[in-house]
Amino acid sequence: MSNSESYPPEFRPLMSEKSTETGLDRSKDIDIPVIDMEHLDMEKLREACKDWGIFHLENTGIPLTFMSQVKEITESVLSLPFEEKRTLFGVNSPLSYYWGTHTVSPSGKAVTRAPQESSGHLFEGINIPLASLSRLLALSCTDPKLESFRVVMEEYGKHVTRIIVTLFEAIIETLSLELSGDQKMGYLSESTGVIRVQRYPQCTESPGLEAHTDSSVISIINQDDVGGLEFMKDGEWFNVKPLASSFVVGLGDMMQVISDEEYKSVLHKVGKRMRKKERYSIVNFVFPDKDCMFNSTRYKPFKFSEFEAQVKLDVETHGSKVGLSRFLSNP
Ligand SMILES: O=C(O)CCC(=O)C(=O)O
Ligand SMILES: [Fe+2]
């Protein structure tokens, strides 16, 4: 089987086009802050959140050998034939396979966008709602590859959850916010966390993922060395240069509300890539509990489930997310 058969059929003509590769625009390279999780510098963290909304996180305590395992199993599952992925991660699976849409709901199901907007962005992925991993057990009995995927992702989820709790506590401290245990649990709900493994074909003519902010509290991105992640700062796009053995942390919309706009969610996208190679990324979205209430000065009080429902409606009807501006108290 050629590699192109593992991609959705509509990607294939675009992938085989002879590309006049321009590659990544290196003039947009910039060094984002690097936060050392073992020796947290609170002032540096505050600046990273306030001025950037995106930073590298290193020394997270995840063994390198385990990270290689994560990469290996992710690549092998995403490289399965297209039809097999559709079947394995179709209606009967707690996971979902999607392509060409970036929106994910806490249920882990991809939201279908209005058709006029869906062309040109070449990426695919599998949504793994953390709460449903155990239900994968039933499916994995029949497929050893799925069993390893489940085991590795469960372990990965535990590591990332540990990182998230430490990081969130620290961010809250930089804001001098006093939150009760229940509030913290509501913001970092285990029931709504989603891991998403994604693949972008080797193709430099088409972009990967369109510009968006995440609806999450925080997103932890594990990108490989192919590059292509870009973010907006002061009205300009910059590249996030891959940094080995580290994660990219992006602040999401809910952090913008929790911090009362002291910190902003970061606008990001996946553009052209550095090399003629497929790109893989693993993103962990930390979502609040569905019933979690958000009260702030700039926005009308809302429940996270209301925010999600609005995003879903906007994507389905207009083709893209409108986001927090829908909830402004004085639009
Ligand atoms: O693939 C990446 O590096 C980023 C993906 C992303 O932004 C998303 O899935 O929301
Ligand atoms: Fe994102």
Q: What is the DSSP string of 196-259?
A: EEEEE-S-SSS-SEEEE--SSSEEEEEE-TT--EEEEETTEEEEE---TT-EEEEE-HHHHHHT
Span 112-138, mean pLDDT? 70
What pLDDT sits at residue 113?
56
268 CA: nearest ligand 1 atom: 7
Residues with C-beta atoms within 5 A of ion ligand 2: 214
* b/e burial code for range 205-229 (CB count within 10 A of at least 16 → b): ebbbbbbbbbbbbbbbbbbbebbbb
Tens of pLDDT, residue by residue over 288-307, are: 999 999 999 999 999 999 99
Asked if residue 275 has pLDDT above 90, the reply is no
Ligand 1 within 6 A of CB of 223: yes
Residue of minimum CA distance from atom 10 in ligand 1: 214
What pLDDT sits at residue 192?
81
Whether 21 and 276 have beta carbons less than 8 Å apart is answered as yes
Ligand 1 within 6 A of CB of 196: yes
pTM, rounded to two decimals: 0.92
248 CA: nearest ligand 1 atom: 3
What pLDDT sits at residue 177?
95
Q: How far is CA 120 from CA 13, 21, 116, 208, in A?
A: 12, 16, 10, 8
Least confident of 156-165, 199-208, 264-273, 317-326: 199-208
Asked if residue 46 has pLDDT above 70, the reply is yes
Tens of pLDDT, residue by residue over 203-262, are: 666 778 888 999 999 999 999 998 889 999 999 999 999 999 999 999 999 999 999 999
Asked if residue 116 has pLDDT above 50, the reply is no
What is the whole-number distance in angstroms between the Cα of residue 196 and the centre of ligand 1? Answer: 9
Asked if residue 181 has pLDDT above 50, the reply is yes
What is the whole-number distance in angstroms between the Cα of residue 178 and the centre of ligand 1? Answer: 31
Question: At residue 14, what are phi and psi to the nearest 5 degrees?
Answer: -70, -35
Ligand 1 within 6 A of CB of 229: yes
What pLDDT sits at residue 102?
44
Q: What ipTM goes with this model?
A: 0.99
Least confident of 3-12, 97-106, 314-323: 97-106
Ligand 1 within 6 A of CB of 195: no
Mutation choice for ligand 1 from 122, 196, 221, 225, CB with most ligand atoms inside 8 A: 221
Mutation choice for ligand 1 from 268, 311, 321, CB with most ligand atoms inside 8 A: 268
All structural domains of the chain, each given as residue ranges with its CATH number in brackets, are 3-15+28-289 (2.60.120.330)
What is the whole-number distance in angstroms between the Cα of residue 12 and the centre of ligand 2? Answer: 24
Q: pLDDT band at residue 115, thresholds of 50, 70 and 90? A: very low
Which of the two residues, 140 and 11, has the higher pLDDT score? 11
Ligand 1 within 6 A of CB of 256: no
Span 67-94, mean pLDDT? 92
Q: pLDDT band at residue 105, thresholds of 50, 70 and 90? A: very low
Q: pLDDT band at residue 77, thresholds of 50, 70 and 90? A: very high
Which of the two residues, 110 and 8, has the higher pLDDT score? 8
Q: pLDDT band at residue 2, thresholds of 50, 70 and 90? A: low
